[in-house]
């Protein structure tokens, strides 16, 4: 079995795979990975991969070094099953790369746009030839709410929860609708742009913040909250000769 660890900015996801199938997914602190002892006790893990967008803590590093099997620490030099045309691969987030690889494994030979909504919202594109061309990074939902509060004198700190109307009728609804509609229109804009240039485009949506909006491309959009984990598992198998 494969152990796949995705350490993000706010939390960590840990998954057990049997071949290409997810057996179970755990969530844990990105500072401690407290779920690891239970996982190793329950599952006969033979190999693992770790991707992190933050610096590993001492505790996490010690746990990884104590594993009785080989572990890949994903970085810019790790062999991958696609062509990466990003000009600075050493700065490319492991989660972005894994999500693209996960999508391309599900739909190989297609033009794919992967949108990941988490701490940041990322838009990444891989063409039908298996070439990752790059992508963009935008502030995520929580970051937008916090920015309006932090960088102004009087605007309150809000969240998505609460009254929403099409046009703000007070400061709270103006902020809430402004943030949420801004994200919606931004995502729709990216999808429309890529569809015009690639009519056969498929779109993958992933990430913890989810997407609640209508689009004319509904039949061409696939929501997969485990896309990054699937991509990491693909990289792990690729590096161990199980293509």
Report the binding-site residues: 6-13, 86, 93-96, 116, 119, 171
CB contact at 8 A, 183 and 163: no
Binding residues for K(+) are: 116
Binding residues for substrate are: 86, 93-96, 171
61 SS3 class: helix
Q: Is 95 a catalytic residue?
A: yes
User: Closest Cα partner for 23 from 48, 2, 6, 41?
Assistant: 2
Binding residues for ATP are: 6-13, 119
Catalytic residue among 19, 34, 95, 209: 95
- Count of residues in the chain: 243
For 202, phi and psi rounded to 5 degrees? Answer: -115, 145
Q: In what order do the strands lie in the sheet with 47-52?
A: 21-28, 12-18, 2-7, 47-52, 70-73
DSSP annotation of 126: E
d(CA 138, CA 133): 17
Tokens read off for 78? 């790790």
Query: Which residues are marked as active site?
Result: 95
């Amino acid at each position: 079995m494969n152990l796949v660890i995705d350490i993000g900015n706010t939390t960590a996801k840990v998954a057990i795979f049997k071949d290409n199938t997810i057996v179970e997914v755990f969530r844990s602190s990105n500072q401690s990975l407290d779920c690891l002892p239970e996982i190793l006790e329950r599952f006969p893990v033979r190999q693992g991969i770790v991707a992190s967008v933050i610096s590993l803590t001492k505790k996490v590093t010690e746990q990884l070094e104590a594993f009785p099997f080989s572990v890949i620490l994903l970085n810019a030099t790790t062999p991958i099953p696609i062509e990466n045309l990003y000009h600075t691969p050493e700065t490319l987030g492991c989660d972005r790369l894994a999500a693209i690889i996960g999508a391309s494994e599900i739909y190989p030979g297609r033009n794919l746009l992967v949108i990941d909504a988490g701490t940041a919202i990322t838009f990444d594109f891989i063409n039908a030839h298996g070439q990752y061309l790059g992508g963009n990074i935008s502030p995520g939902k929580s970051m937008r709410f916090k920015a309006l509060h932090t960088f102004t004198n009087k605007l309150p700190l809000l969240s998505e929860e609460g009254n929403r109307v099409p046009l703000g009728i007070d400061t709270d609804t103006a902020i809430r609708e402004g943030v949420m509609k801004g994200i919606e229109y931004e995502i729709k804009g990216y999808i429309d742009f890529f569809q015009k240039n690639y009519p056969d485009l498929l779109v993958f949506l992933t990430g913890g913040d989810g997407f609640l909006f209508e689009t004319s491309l509904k039949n061409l959009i696939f929501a997969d909250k485990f896309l990054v984990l699937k991509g990491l598992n693909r990289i792990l198998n690729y590096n161990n000769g199980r293509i």
